[in-house]
Amino acid sequence: MYDADDELLTRTHAIRTYAPEDFEGMRRAGRLVAEALDMIAAEVKPGITTGRIDDLIRQFTYDHGGLPACLGYKGYTRTTCTSINHVVCHGIPGDKVLKDGDIVNIDHTVVVDGWHGDSSRMYAVGQINPRARKLIDVTYESLRIGLEQVKPGNTFGDIGYAIQKYVEGQRMSVVRDFCGHGIGRIFHDSPNVLHYGRRGEGAELKPGMFFTVEPMVNLGKPAVKILSDGWTAVTRDKSLSAQCEHSVGVTEDGVEIFTASPAGLFRPN
């Protein structure tokens, strides 16, 4: 995901639409990132470090003909983002050891033949408490509800509105400082895909648009702050935060999810 303010300055060009044959490129990139996130599911257990997770995903990606898109991106030195508990996004993998009861988002982006596949999921470490479970469930449901709005003729505002309405109805909050983005041959492209908004606002969805939807949901208030490492975003009130992300394309009559899990492991058990 991307910093919304930064992008308002730079991401102002028209929204690209891709040709029908370009969907195949996105399918291959989306499948690889999904397979990497499937592979790591069995490894996310108490005792593993986030650095080890990152190493396994990087190796898997290279072994299967992909390149890690985040490695070297704006000076980022890792392959994935690993965001634990009150970390909203952009947690940097390292020596941190996962412990029973943690929830962790793993966000990975690959490049295959120039096409980007960007996805993230939540993973439950051992036994998690009911509040954490509920947060994860609401986050996944918000993505599903947002994607239900993806069809020609609807607008980006319809997606954001649907997500916000559902999440706030569950007495949780949607993070405003980061958003989804156009994707394709470019990692972070126009438009900003906000996870809040008003019906009918924003650009109209057209067949061949490729973008991510990646809502971040907090148990507490939506405000975030960035730690001194320049990347790690945490909730200001230290409440738990969760996220999930798909890369999708608009079809003639709806949506194609490029990053669906071949093994059915998109949601944690």
Nearest to 257 by CA among 167, 148, 159: 148
Site for ligand MF3 contains 7 (CB under 6 A): no
Q: Which two tokens stand for residue 22?
A: 């370009």
> 102-141 mask for ligand MF3 (x: CB under 6 A)?
-----x-x--------x-----------------------
Are the C-beta atoms of residues 83 and 53 closer than 8 Å to each other? no
Nearer to ligand MF3, 109 or 154 (CB): 109
Sole window of 37-45, 67-75, 150-158, 255-263 interacting with ligand MF3 (rule: CB under 6 A): 67-75
Sole window of 31-39, 55-63, 119-127, 203-211 interacting with Co ion (rule: CB under 5 A): 119-127
Task: Identify residues 206-235 at the interface with ligand MF3 (CB under 6 A).
Answer: 214, 231
Q: Cα angle vertex 204, ends 116, 110, to 5°?
A: 5
Task: DSSP letter for 5, please.
Answer: H
Site for ligand MF3 contains 2 (CB under 6 A): yes
**Left (φ > 0), alpha (ψ -120 to 50) or beta: where does 243 sit?**
beta
Nearest to 50 by CA among 232, 191, 194, 244: 232
Nearer to ligand MF3, 91 or 128 (CB): 91
How many binding residues for Co ion (CB under 5 A)? Answer: 6
Binds Co ion by CB under 5 A, chosen from 164, 212, 235, 241: 212
Binds ligand MF3 by CB under 6 A, chosen from 115, 140, 245, 249: 245
Backbone angles phi, psi at 57, to 5 degrees: -70, -40
Nearest to 247 by CA among 66, 1, 42: 1
Residue type, 72: G
- To ligand MF3, the closest distance from the beta carbon of 9 in angstroms equals 17
Sole window of 73-81, 149-157, 196-204, 253-261 interacting with ligand MF3 (rule: CB under 6 A): 73-81
Nearer to Co ion, 47 or 73 (CB): 73
* Residue whose tokens read 């257990």: 45
Backbone angles phi, psi at 81, to 5 degrees: -110, 135
218 vs 242: CA distance, rounded Å = 7
* Residue whose tokens read 């898109």: 69
Nearer to ligand MF3, 69 or 255 (CB): 69
Q: Please give the residue ranges that form the binding site for Co ion (CB under 5 A).
A: 1, 107, 118, 120, 212, 245
Q: Please give the residue ranges that form the binding site for ligand MF3 (CB under 6 A).
A: 1-2, 70, 73-74, 76, 81, 90, 107, 109, 118, 214, 231, 245
